Amino acid sequence: MTESAEVVVVGAGPAGLALACALRLHGVAVRVVDQAPGPATTSRANILHARGVEVLDRLGALGDLPGRSAPSLVLTTYIGGRAAIVTRFGDAGTPRPALVLPQTDIEAQLRARLAELGTDVEWGTALTDLVEDEGGVTVVLDGGRKLRAGWLAGCDGSHSTVRKLAGIPFPGAPLTDQWLLADVHAGWELARAGGHGWAHKDGPLFAMPMPGGEADDRWRLMAYLPGAKDERLTEPEILAAFRRLVGERAGLDGDRIRDAVWASVFRVHRRLADAYRRGRVLLAGDAAHIHSPMGGQGMVTGMGDAENLAWKLALVIQGRASGRLLDTYQDERRPLATEVLRNTSATTRLQIGDGPLLRLLISWVLAPLGNHPAVQRRATQVASQLGVSYRRGPLAVRGSLLGPDRRPRSGDRVPDLPCADADGHVTRLHAELRGRWALLATGDAAEACRSEAGTFLGDRVVVLTPDGWSTDEVWLVRPDAHLAWRGRPASGGLTRWLRGALQHGRARA
């Protein structure tokens, strides 16, 4: 017998879990399959930037994570044995700063939220094939079991089987040679308040304390191996290499490394899928884009994809929008991934400092600049992705009569404004979104606009009044907290925007 779902999500990493939670909030029936036998126990990421934290909040999946996070990520870079740059990453001046926590904790919180929303991950369930037709997708699972779904979301990571089966090219190239990676127990007298990086002529070495407090002696070690392209090293070999390298590059005692929790070798690639959608197959997260882990942009970008895709897919499934709305998913998200690839590649090239000229530039020009608080604030702001805007996308109203200086503009992110709901209860904009749209308005305009928007969006619209709201304008905020439209009530603009976006995938002013 073939089982069925409205959407099958392949992959229970951060992107797949965020997508599944968001779809459930929009009322969509979803199945999540993952080939792994159970949740990952080792973490790749250790920072989720601010925009990703906002996504967790809007999904209702933040739980107690903020209380468990370190306040910021501090990286001390040593050049010639001297602490030359102290970089503070983390607080982009938002109520929801970055979380400095292992990826496993974030995934666990997302799984718990998904279970609350009625869906559990089906572990040990690999997708092996897919067949698409006009009415949906038949997903073939390991062992020949079949699932029938209206839509298939490939959130199955960088080696995505979904992407390959859908025939979506993933062009790109390796960015670096190989890196050694290990999480080890080591008894060093090295401050655990932040990470450490040593610039060295043979390549940098990093030691990051793994969360667990002062009592824990777990460190994440990463060392660059210029010239190494295809080394296949066993765990004991990697450990032996680190025992030597920490001495050579950082002056640390290699004998103090007791054991490794896990170890691996990886090479940084930059690749971007040619398309995020082919028919009824969609891609999100690392399945659509991979880049350097320097700067920690993987989870925030994948979870942002998920939130953007979820409301569009839900409207199409519910028959409220045409498939053209789904094309705006790629139009809005792929330019951001292009920028992430560019920025992380530039940072990585600086980190590996290949060549004597670049090393001189780093020591004498970039090190002093890197210590400057304004430079660090700017770096944190960019990494936070709070400034991501879809102004240039197809859903943004251009040439608005509001003038260029009025913020936010159609397509911009709307911050988490304190608001009152229709009954006068104090609340926050982002807490009210959770699978809904918000109309920010007052008085009679609010109810009139609610019924106008309801024609297109049903009962998924909440009316809110921000604190100190003193305009007779109305704002329509999308479920992913971007401004859809702003303007005067009863001007016809709201209906024009909704009709254009939902039916044609284009904003009409």
Ligand X SMILES: Cc1cc2nc3c(=O)[nH]c(=O)nc-3n(C[C@H](O)[C@H](O)[C@H](O)COP(=O)(O)OP(=O)(O)OC[C@H]3O[C@@H](n4cnc5c(N)ncnc54)[C@H](O)[C@@H]3O)c2cc1C
C-beta closer to ligand X: residue 338 or 491? 338
C-beta closer to ligand X: residue 53 or 419? 53
C-beta closer to ligand X: residue 336 or 429? 336
Q: Which stretch binds ligand X (CB under 6 A): 7-15, 63-71, 405-413, 488-496?
A: 7-15
Least distance in angstroms from the C-beta of 102 to ligand X: 9
User: Which residues in the 405-444 window bind ligand X by CB under 6 A?
Assistant: none
Under rule CB under 6 A, residue 307 binds ligand X? no
Q: How far is CA 12 from CA 19, 33, 250, 457, in A?
A: 10, 7, 37, 29
Q: Which stretch binds ligand X (CB under 6 A): 1-9, 150-158, 360-368, 382-390?
A: 150-158
| Integer Cα distance of 381 and 370 in angstroms | 14
* Member of 102, 136, 157, 493 binding ligand X (CB under 6 A): 157
Under rule CB under 6 A, residue 197 binds ligand X? no
Under rule CB under 6 A, residue 500 binds ligand X? no
Least distance in angstroms from the C-beta of 466 to ligand X: 31
| Integer Cα distance of 35 and 127 in angstroms | 7
Counting residues that bind ligand X (by CB under 6 A) gives 34
* Member of 23, 45, 250, 481 binding ligand X (CB under 6 A): 45
Under rule CB under 6 A, residue 293 binds ligand X? yes
| Integer Cα distance of 306 and 310 in angstroms | 6
User: Which residues in the 86-105 window bind ligand X by CB under 6 A?
Assistant: 103
Three-state DSSP class for residue 36: coil
Q: Which stretch binds ligand X (CB under 6 A): 207-215, 292-300, 388-396, 457-465?
A: 292-300
Contact between 205 and 196 (Cβ < 8 Å): no
Query: Residue 186 forms beta bridges with which residues?
Result: 257
Q: Which stretch binds ligand X (CB under 6 A): 4-12, 211-219, 366-374, 501-509?
A: 4-12
Least distance in angstroms from the C-beta of 146 to ligand X: 14
State residue 110 phi and psi, 5-degree precision: -65, -40
| Integer Cα distance of 98 and 417 in angstroms | 19
β 30-33/121-122 pair status: parallel
Q: Write down the number of H helices and E strands in the chain.
A: 14, 22
Sequence-distant (6+) residues with CB within 8 A of 1 are none
C-alpha atoms less than 13 angstroms from C-alpha of 496 in its C-beta half-sphere = 14
* Member of 5, 8, 9, 12 binding ligand X (CB under 6 A): 12
C-beta closer to ligand X: residue 36 or 375? 36
Under rule CB under 6 A, residue 35 binds ligand X? yes
Least distance in angstroms from the C-beta of 18 to ligand X: 8
Contact between 403 and 118 (Cβ < 8 Å): no
C-beta closer to ligand X: residue 286 or 307? 286
For residue 288, the tally of other CB atoms under 10 A from its CB is 30
* Member of 34, 105, 332, 480 binding ligand X (CB under 6 A): 34
Q: In what order do the strands lie in the sheet containing 483-487?
A: 426-428, 418-421, 461-466, 437-440, 474-477, 483-487
How many residues comprise the chain? 509
Least distance in angstroms from the C-beta of 284 to ligand X: 7
Under rule CB under 6 A, residue 186 binds ligand X? no
**Is the four-CA dihedral 54, 58, 62, 63 of positive or negative sign?**
positive
* Member of 92, 155, 165, 313 binding ligand X (CB under 6 A): 155
* Member of 6, 7, 14, 325 binding ligand X (CB under 6 A): 14
Per-residue contact string for residues 107-126; x = within reach of ligand X by CB under 6 A: -------------------x
* Member of 10, 252, 419, 498 binding ligand X (CB under 6 A): 10
What residue number has its CB nearest to ligand X? 298
Per-residue contact string for residues 269-288; x = within reach of ligand X by CB under 6 A: ----------------xx--
| Integer Cα distance of 251 and 245 in angstroms | 9
Name the amino acid, one letter, at 238. I
Contact between 35 and 142 (Cβ < 8 Å): yes
Q: Any long-range contacts for 459-463 (C-beta under 8 Å, 24+ apart)?
A: 460/26, 460/435, 460/436, 461/436, 461/437, 462/421, 462/422, 462/432, 462/436, 462/437, 462/438, 463/421, 463/422, 463/438, 463/439
Least distance in angstroms from the C-beta of 494 to ligand X: 35
Under rule CB under 6 A, residue 302 binds ligand X? yes
User: Which residues in the 166-185 window bind ligand X by CB under 6 A?
Assistant: 181
Chain residues that interact with ligand X, rule: CB under 6 A: 10-16, 33-36, 44-48, 103, 126-127, 155-157, 161, 181, 266, 285-286, 293, 296-300, 302
